[in-house]
Chain A
């Protein structure tokens, strides 16, 4: 045994960089296959934007699972609720949305996003207290309870808003694209990337630089020990659950604007996508979730361009390939 002086740095864990490089490798490998540089650029930007939006939705799910071993099958409901709440703000304020000024548009979008996050976060509070609290530690019941929650939430949305698809047009100043050389980049995608990056950096900062983040990471690693040290991890978890739900709501708003429509069943389709991302990334890992979201979006975009038929099952193929390579996802955080 070697002696460690108190001043010595702790032995650093080995960095595992390969998964980080994976999206870049994939993007570069696709360049010769696609041929034209400009379409490659457009596709890459599209996948980055899509990936960021998926990441926003998936981050809450993976954190909640990592911290408290709760898998929320009703996560899609928060996505849909967020989108519906945004329509409450955006549709009455349509003149401002249609105004041709970036500042006015953003001044409407920001409260819409905040309202969506607040409402889905509050809904998260209710769901955690009512549905999940009674069934901690029982996976089977958790799955059943949250699936039941999904059914009820979706039906309630139908009852409140009606079964029709609600169109949600993009603000005027965010339509169209920037043309750089012969590369067209949609403006809204840039905004989506920006928001996604801010969320990612925000989560990383909170997790790695604050006391709360330290407790969350410790809780992921060993819950009983954190409890034994006197922290009320239930309350911590409630907070994480609310933030995760709020992020799902934010992702729902962004996705609805991206598709320019809102429907109660949007949560169902996205739930599958989000699950694939979370599995690929490794349950509980934010970094893995980020990379997983990028990979899924890239495979969807490149695949759709190169072999449209393959795009239907590309997500599954990607998941199988990743799990063959790393059976517990890119970054396995938990010991489960």
Chain B
């Protein structure tokens, strides 16, 4: 019921998902350190963001490079509202009320303008629009704070200093930070479940029909442009919401954390490695990617030093901690080529040869 009749369909995958969700649910209680909390929050937010991208890439087969733009719109709308109106709930409400419609209208405009034509055209146009938006955000410094971005204060309730349940009650403290974490956790879970609902609705079936054969879908009488634009708007809404949560967690919005092309590539990597067209893949992909981002680097640093000590040429540079993206990029190419359905697809059909 809650999974919209689309269960993981693989024992390993189910166990994996349960472990991931359980781990995320207890992170603040077991690992209250700042790093673990940051990693867990990032996983939650990116799982929702990537799931919304999966709605576009996996279910309709359109490649958009503007997804970070919507993410950024969400981040910035919260940041600007809280920055200019002070830390209160009215500001949060204004940010939400301004950000979501803005993201949707922009998605609608881009969709109507460019979804009529082929996927390639849409990809290029979104890339151009997103880069223009990035330039705008870093240049209009009176509004966005330019390259520095905007830092702001959260409402009283969500601050780390606010103690809701003191440590001596149950053995762990619940402060505003933990509350924010659970807010994000629940919101992201709700968004992912809602997306699961969307892709398993008749509407989602039409999207898949369009992905498989646009002409045939059109011939069956579906208005493909309407469906694609609708999906684009939905994805934009979820992305903007994820951006808002991200801004709430970081207490900051800037070009590097919410708009840069690097994040777009990260999303692409996560969705493909996790598995396109599954929604569950978003969760798996986000976990793999963000864990790699945060913990693989330490491993690579050790390997790099070992290689340098052994006097090997070139290897220390290739294994340098900053080059972790190189290896994930290779993994990305390999996964597009060898298992296009990603981790989730592999777990569901372990025996079937890749198409």
Contacts and interface: CB of A to CB of B under 8 A. Distances in A.
A144 B65 CA distance: 11
A131 B330 CA distance: 11
Contacts of B120: 71, 139, 143
Contacts of A139: 118-120
Contacts of B317: 159-160
Nearest to B123: A143
B340 A152 contact: no
A217 to B, nearest CB: 21
A325 to B, nearest CB: 14
A135 B333 CA distance: 11
Given A141-B340, A143-B123, A272-B131, A158 B323 contact: yes
Interface string A307-323: 00100110110011001
Contact of B135 (A73, A149, A313): A313
Contacts of A143: 63, 119-120, 123
A156 B326 contact: yes
A134 B340 CA distance: 12
B330 to A, nearest CB: 6
A317 to B, nearest CB: 9
B288 interface: no
Contacts of A145: 333, 336-337
A152 B326 contact: yes
A278 B127 CA distance: 13
A159 B118 contact: no
Given A134-B337, A140-B119, A144-B336, A312 B329 contact: no
Interface string A235-273: 000000000000000000000000000000000110110
Contacts of A313: 132, 135-136
Contacts of A147: 265, 268
A148 B132 contact: no
Interface residues of B, number: 40
A268 to B, nearest CB: 6
Contacts of A316: 128-129, 132
A336 B125 contact: no
Interface in A253-299: 268-269, 271-272, 275-276, 278-279
Nearest to A319: B128
Contact of A268 (B135, B261, B325): B261
Of the four ranges (under 10, 10 to 19, 20 to 34, 35 or more), the interface on chain A belongs to 35 or more
Contact of B333 (A131, A279, A336): A131
Interface in B311-355: 317-318, 320, 322-323, 325-326, 328-330, 332-333, 336-337, 340
Contacts of A315: 128, 132
Nearest to A323: B113
Contact of B268 (A144, A152, A268, A276): A144
A234 to B, nearest CB: 19
B272 interface: yes
Contact of B323 (A131, A148, A159, A327): A159
Contact of A140 (B63, B333, B337): B63
A151 B325 contact: yes
A155 B336 CA distance: 19
A316 B133 CA distance: 10
Nearest to B319: A159
B332 A151 contact: yes
B340 to A, nearest CB: 7
Contact of A275 (B124, B337, B340): B124
B128 A312 contact: no
B127 A272 contact: yes
A167 interface: no
A155 B333 contact: no
Contacts of A312: 132, 135-136, 139
A111 interface: no
Contacts of A272: 127-128, 131
A300 to B, nearest CB: 12
B61 A140 contact: yes
A163 interface: yes
B121 interface: yes
Most A CB within 10 A of own CB, among B272, B332, B336: B336
Given A151-B332, A152-B333, A312-B136, A336 B118 contact: yes
Interface in A171-212: none
A275 B136 contact: no
Given A151-B269, A151-B332, A268-B261, 15 more contacts: A71-B123, A71-B124, A131-B333, A144-B63, A144-B336, A152-B326, A158-B326, A159-B318, A276-B128, A312-B135, A313-B136, A315-B128, A319-B128, A320-B113, A327-B117
30 contacts: A71-B124, A131-B333, A139-B118, A140-B63, A143-B63, A143-B119, A144-B332, A145-B337, A148-B332, A148-B336, A151-B265, A151-B328, A151-B332, A152-B333, A158-B322, A159-B317, A159-B318, A159-B320, A159-B323, A268-B261, A269-B131, A272-B127, A275-B124, A275-B127, A276-B128, A278-B124, A279-B125, A312-B139, A316-B129, A336-B118
Interface of B: 57, 61, 63, 113, 117-121, 123-125, 127-129, 131-132, 135-136, 139, 261, 265, 268-269, 272, 317-318, 320, 322-323, 325-326, 328-330, 332-333, 336-337, 340
Interface of A: 71, 73, 131, 134-135, 139-141, 143-145, 147-149, 151-152, 155-156, 158-160, 163, 268-269, 271-272, 275-276, 278-279, 309, 312-313, 315-316, 319-320, 323, 327, 336
